[in-house]
Amino acid sequence: MYERSKSLEEIIKRRIERESAISFRDYMEICLYYPEKGYYTSQRKIFGMKGDYLTSPYITPLFGRIIAEQFIEIEGYLNKLHIVEAGAGEGIFAGQVLKRLEEKGVEADYTIVEPFENLKTVQENNLKDFKVEWI
């Protein structure tokens, strides 16, 4: 972790030297999204029990199943269910929802909006048994 942080530190220093200053927005963009070194773009595990984020889908599949039941109820009013998830992490929630929909025989178009290739790769692996579109 130190090496990654150090190289980001150098990137930020060089940018400040070049431009005299850096906005907070640009600073955060570098820290979070710089290719292969940013928080969300590195290979570091940030989700789940050993990561920095522990959300409901990691604790129990019940969360995704309950939300899926709500989608099923909504689906009764629609011709077809279209679900869009932004920032799907590792795809755990999507997998729980899609599994429950499959168990109930409900078809849905599921789209994940994911700007990071490293997370998209993890999602594709975790959701390989389901029909998902990425944009």
Give the separation between CA 94 and CA 57, rounded to whole angstroms: 9
For the segment 4-19, what is each residue's pLDDT rounded down to a tens digit?
A: 557 899 999 999 999 9
Residue 36: per-residue pLDDT: 87
Residue 4: per-residue pLDDT: 54
Instruction: Supply the DSSP string of 85-132, one letter for each residue.
Output: EES-TTSHHHHHHHHHHHHTT--EEEEEE---HHHHHHHHHHTTTS-E
Residue 67: per-residue pLDDT: 98
Question: If pLDDT is split at 50, 70 and 90, which confidence band does 48 have?
Answer: confident
The answer to whether residues 22 and 12 touch, using CB atoms and an 8 Å cutoff, is yes
The answer on pLDDT for 79 being more than 60 is yes
The answer on pLDDT for 41 being more than 60 is yes
The answer to whether residues 96 and 65 touch, using CB atoms and an 8 Å cutoff, is yes
Mean pLDDT within 80-103:
96
The answer to whether residues 65 and 100 touch, using CB atoms and an 8 Å cutoff, is yes
- Average confidence score pLDDT of the chain: 91
Closest-CA residue to 94 (of 47, 50, 49, 42): 47
Main-chain phi, psi angles of 53, to 5 degrees = -110, 125
Which domains are present in the chain?
A: 2-33 (no CATH), 56-134 (3.40.50.150)
To the question of pTM greater than 0.85 for the whole model, the response is no
The answer to whether residues 36 and 30 touch, using CB atoms and an 8 Å cutoff, is no
Mean pLDDT within 25-49:
88
